[in-house]
Amino acid sequence: MLRMTTYLKALLADQPMAPERSARGPGSGPVVIWNLIRQCNLLCQHCYASAANKQFAGELDTAEVFRVLDDLHASGVRVLILSGGEPLMRPDIFEIARRAKSLGMYVGLSSNGTLIDARTIDAVAAVGFDYIGVSLDGIGATHDAFRGVEGSYAQSLQGIRLCVERGLKVGIRFTMTEGNAHDLPALLQLMEDENLDKFYFSHLNYAGRGNANRETDAYHQRTRWAMDLLIDACVRSIQQGRAREFVTGNNDADGVYLLQWARRHHPERQEALARMERLLLRWGGNSSGVNVANIDNRGHVHPDTMWWKVRLGNVRERSFGAIWADTTHPLMAGLKQSPRPVQGRCAACSWLPLCNGNTRVRAWELTGDYWAADPACYLSDAEIGVEPGSYAVPDHALARRLRSIPITSAPDDELETAPCAHS
């Protein structure tokens, strides 16, 4: 996850900045995203958990969850994101959240927002969640189609507004595909209009139904357009003195793109640019299996939320700390290696220390190889320091399609229009 606002503040406002993440290696526990329940009242096209509106057998009960919370705390975990499915469908969700807060953890709620209503808002507010992320994947009908339930946009927006009324920190989570990219400008405006705290932009990852629908992934040129829009919105927010956060996830090429944007637009700020580069290198790109972990609804531990096909162990059988330190699985051994054993274009990339090989799930789903080049890297050969054309587009129809539109830079006055002829 790239905290865009933090780096741009360091560049534009000369704000000193501590690194987000310590150097790789032993230390405090990872951020844990815990899918407490797989049941969900929506049917989202990109859902990595392939959640559905039914009960799933074998989920951890309250007592087991409490025991694992103690285990996580003992393992150094201090940041916990409660997710699903839809976590608010668990009757004990508030009890679990309060227990985690009592352990001194930062506790976030990842929700579709439809169940934050007049009946639940008091309980949501009483917990004191540090952050509530609500998924909006378009405006109105676009969101409803993406989420599979008519009327879900209106319900989610009402949930967001109730959180704002209670003074809770709340933001939008948006996953972009070819089918909803056109609504990105309107969603950024919605963030302004509703006075929201955060905008989380997620690239599509090929997991669960996201993999089944991977043909909808955005063209590289459209991704660059989206990044320019986000950077522009973030810069305006900083210049206006607003305390808003812009964050991206699931494509660590974003860090390289942000740095190169900064070099193009602010070549005069050499000292700030050098500091920005050092801090981005310290951040270090993809942290699956190192600083980010996932526990699913049945207690299986995964390198992150997108790796549900890879089980490292179960918290019913072993402590989380023991599972997380175990590198007998070849994927975990490679993820914890520095540099990672990536291949092809990723291995030759001059920015590998910053990106860390990007998202391995996409490479694996398309090639069967954990360490193949990530097909969703949208940077040009020149931008990553390889000879143009020296690495062929991976022999996969989707990979060829993503790169099929020549990469160009859009003038600032054209940012509001999606750039692809296929719109």
Reported as a single tens digit per residue, the pLDDT across 107-122 is 999 999 999 999 999 9
List domains and CATH numbers for the chain. 2-338 (3.20.20.70)
Percent of the chain with pLDDT over 90: 79
Question: What is the structure's pLDDT at 23?
Answer: 41
Per-residue pLDDT at 350: 97
Task: Compute the distance between CA of residue 160 and CA of residue 169 in angstroms, rounded to an integer.
Answer: 10
Q: What digits encode the pLDDT tens for the residues 360-388?
A: 999 999 999 999 999 999 999 999 999 99
pLDDT exceeds cutoff 60 at 31: yes
Q: Which element (helix H / strand E) includes 181?
A: none
Peptide bond into 30 cis (omega under 30): no
248 has which bridge partners?
2, 201
Q: Please count the other Cβ atoms lying within 10 Å of the Cβ belonging to residue 379.
A: 23
Instruction: Compute the distance between CA of residue 300 and CA of residue 297 in angstroms, rounded to an integer.
Output: 7
Average pLDDT of the segment spanning 119-130 = 97
Beta strand 79-83 with 292-295 is unpaired
Residue 133 in tokens: 């992320």
State which amino acid sits at residue 127: V
